[in-house]
Amino acid sequence: MTAIELKAQIQQGIDLLADDESGLQRVANYIKRLLKKKEDPTLMSKEDFFRRIDEARAQYDRGDYTRVNNIDELHEFLSNIEEEAKTLEDVSH
């Protein structure tokens, strides 16, 4: 099927749901979920990129960073991050 044929098929389905507010809401929610999956959270403008670098340099200059000297310290650091993430997830639910 071509993109044009798929669009026509989708439009026909939406037209059939024209009087079904609940069905249309489900379609709208599904489209929103698909669009969220498509977004790339790592994309940013050039200005944002350099702003974040400047902020990181300032943070480093203030001594606001974590130094990891060996693999054991790295594992401990990552474990702490995982625990904090789980705590935040539990609090948000």
Per-residue pLDDT, averaged over 62-80, amounts to 93
- What does the pLDDT read at residue 90? 80
Do 53 and 72 fall into the same domain?
yes
Do 30 and 9 fall into the same domain?
yes
Do 50 and 34 fall into the same domain?
no
- What does the pLDDT read at residue 92? 73
pLDDT digits (tens, 9 = 90+) for 25-47: 988 898 888 887 777 777 888 99
How buried is residue 23: exposed, middle or buried, by Cβ count under 10 Å (0-12/13-18/19+)?
middle
Q: How many domains does the chain have?
A: 2
In b/e form, how buried is each residue of 24-38, taking b as 16+ CB within 10 angstroms? eeeeeeeeeeeeeee
- What dihedral angle (degrees, nearest 10) is formed by the CA atoms of 15, 20, 24, 25? 170
Percentage of the chain lying above the pLDDT 70 cut: 98
Do 51 and 87 fall into the same domain?
yes
Which residue range is the domain that position 8 belongs to? Answer: 3-38
54 band by pLDDT with thresholds 50, 70 and 90: very high
Q: Tokens for 33?
A: 């979920």
Do 50 and 88 fall into the same domain?
yes
Do 31 and 68 fall into the same domain?
no
Do 54 and 85 fall into the same domain?
yes
The span from the CA of 13 to the CA of 30, in Å, is 14
57 band by pLDDT with thresholds 50, 70 and 90: very high
* pLDDT at 63 exceeding the cut of 90: yes
